[in-house]
Structure 1
Amino acid sequence: MGECASHTAQIIDRDGAAVAGTDVLVSVEWSRVLDDLSEARAVIAPDADCCAALARVRTWRHKLAIFRGTAPVWEGPITSVEWTVDGAEISAVDVLGWLDRRTPHQDQEFIDHELTEVAAWLVDDAFEPDDPGHTTTIVATSGIRGRRSYQADVGQTGDHLRDLAATGIDFTALGSRILILPEDHSARLASLSDADFADELVVVEDGLALATRWVVHGKDGVKGVAGGAHPYYGLIERVVEETSILDDASAEAAARSRLAASSPAPVFLDSQEAVLSPDAGLDVTVLVPGWCVDVTTTQTCRTISQALKIATVKVKEDGDAETISLQLTPAGVSG
């Protein structure tokens, strides 16, 4: 990471005009999350001029934009403002937060359709009547085709997108961009070892996530099955219902995707808060959920050397200290 860069932030109107700066930024934290929305928070101790501007801040009308040095790293609509005698605390969600406040705007049925394209339709349909500013990028196709059906004004678009992510795709927000990619995306960003982490690492084998046979039930009797008795583990079965799946082929693809993520038993770093060392050679601005890092650790009895997918990036700066932590999962597992 090298020398820590200081954060700055701006509050921007939906028409693009600057509402207020945050010259006295007491603390800031932001994150990037796979298959869900992320959050950010900024605590500001304003001078008199800035205080007047902060009084005009309104939720959902305005967005919080965060910069690390000169690089933009996060933005999204403001969802809460707390004014105190010392200043203001601003909370926001990324652009995906809009999808939890939008619903499909037309009836749509997809037959034998690439799932990443279905996901892109959900996003673009959600923003079509009123777009606060977004782009949708399909990083790569999933190779999974299926049948899906959506009805106007039924369900929140964010929930539909999360359901789709359980069947073979991933998504994440990067600024105003929504990235859609296959669940088995394996592009590497960096290689990490024990020295790149600030604390001792813990290696975990998650037996509760192990399954050797998956059954996925769709709508109206649709069913897909993958796996069976394993020569080493024996038979461990899981059943799940995905009512958005409308045909057997899609259910089978969903079952295969779940099987790939759960057999053999996932081994990963216990990394809810795996803090990076200040000397780790990583550019924080390019750490994007859905991409992989190669991790080698030899300090525990169970050594690992494997590709791990970035599930969450969290950055906090308070005073002069910056903390960067990663949640890493086995490649092919989204959470």
Structure 2
Amino acid sequence: MPAGCSSHTAQIIDRDGAVVAVADVLLDVEWSRVLDDVSTARVLVAPDADCCAALSRVRSWRHKLAIYRDTQPVWEGPITAPEWTADGVQVSAVDILGWVDRRTPHNDQTFVDRELAEIAEWLIDDAFQPDDPGHSVQIIGPSRIRGDRAYQADVGQSGDHLRDLAATGIDFTVLGQQILILPEDHYARVGSLTDDDFASELVVAEDGLALATRWVIHGKDGVRGEAGGVHPYYGLIERVAEESSILDDASAEAAARSRLAASSPAPVFLDSQEAVLAPDSSVDVPALVPGWCVDVTTTQTCRDIAQSLKIAMVKVHEDADGERVSLQLTPAGV
């Protein structure tokens, strides 16, 4: 179904799998998918008498929100903020990584010369091990970066540890109950976009403040790694970061290379506030998954783009005016 031409429904589902309420009449719905972070969703329901009684029983973290686009499941996660008003019920939720942000490592664990994707998988599975509301992990491909990491029980939030790994060589995103782990150089394509696929004028932006030609990463107890140096075009622009979970120089060097790849040359992207798809765009919206790429060709501005860009965020919003699909697209690297 073209972007801008679909409608949504939603369900409230209990931890035991029972359907608490079916929200067929939605006044407003918004859901997103995000790379390397937790996504959110929100629905505003106009309930009838029976639905109103069911929605009165909705509770944060006990129940989850499931959203369907033309009957196809596109988003789900635990409810964090139900609001009841005279005009309707608004339900806000986070995806299942919201659970990982509310968990801590449950076991002491040390990894030596281990693939980063496997460490990420352990962090997620350990977070859910004592109480699993339903999840699975799929490693789309190895990061091809190995390193040492150590985690202590009850020290730090598991979600923060996962984001630290994402800064050193992996990506992750969520589809329903499935958490996908990808290498940062995952460049599989899910479609292409031209000027005709966008609803309004685009803003092509270069993020000069993100530019760096040399990165230095400091790990634990004197561990250090670096990548880059004086660039023949840009000169020398240096950045330093601390990653206390890194235990060996090789991992620190890999983390520095990962950051350098994302910051040199200066990232060029489509402004996320303006990259709205045209209602008749033939893009397969459910296939737009962060971490995958789309080929973009645009000549609307003085800075032409004809390159593959990585999907960093997808946001879908439907109200009385129809459906609006917007994308945040970032450099895919080389």
Give the shorter-chain TM-score range: over 0.9
Residue 232 of structure 1 and its aligned partner are, at CA, apart by: 1.1
SS in 1 for 2:239: strand
CA contact 2:314–2:327 (8 Å) conserved in 1: yes
Task: Measure the CA separation in 1 of the matches of 2:202 and 2:182.
Answer: 29
Q: Residue 76 of structure 1 aligns with which residue?
A: 77
Aligned to 1:189: 190
- 1:208 corresponding residue in structure 2: 209
Equivalent-residue separation in structure 1 for 2:265 and 2:88 (angstroms): 51
Contact 1:116-1:169 within 8 A present in 2 as well: yes
- C-alpha offsets along residues 283-329 of structure 1, whole Å, 9 cap, x if unaligned? 11111000000101112111111111100000001025100000000
1:233 aligns with 2:231: no
| Aligned-partner Cα distance in 2 for 1:106–1:196 | 49
Which whole-Å CA distance do the structure 1 matches of 2:321 and 2:229 have between them?
Answer: 54
**What is the alpha-carbon distance in structure 1 between the residues aligned to residue 55 and residue 143 of structure 2?**
44
Give 1:166 deviation, angstroms. Answer: 0.3
Runs of 5+ unmatched residues, structure 2: none
Partner of 2:45: 44
Deviation at 1:271, TM superposition (A): 2.3
TM-score by length of 1: 0.97
Whole-Å Cα distance in 2 between the matches of residues 226 and 75 of structure 1? 39
1:272 Cα deviation (Å)?
3.5
The sequence identity of aligned pairs, in percent, is: 77
- 1: CA distance, partners of 2:24 / 2:266: 49
Shift of 1:202: 1.5
RMSD, matched Cα: 1.1
Alignment pair present for 1:110 and 2:91: no
After superposition, residues 165-180 of structure 1 pair within 5 angstroms as 165-180=166-181
Q: CA deviation at 1:273?
A: 4.0
When structure 1 is superposed on structure 2, of 41-50 and 201-210 the one drifting more is 201-210
Structure 1: which 5+ residue stretches go unaligned? Answer: none
State whether residues 201 and 274 of structure 2, in contact with CA within 8 Å, keep that contact through their aligned partners in structure 1: no
Q: Is 1:60 equivalent to 2:65 in the alignment?
A: no
Alignment correspondent of 1:135: 136
Taking the aligned partners of 1:268 and 1:86, their CA distance within structure 2 comes to 40
Change in 2 beyond 3 A, CA 1:330/1:38: same
Aligned-residue offset at 1:20: 0.5
Partner of 2:92: 91
Equivalenced residues, count? 333
Counterparts of 1:267 and 1:55, CA distance in 2? 47
Counterparts of 2:318 and 2:261 in 1: how far apart (Å)? Answer: 37
Distance 1:238 1:146 in 2: 22
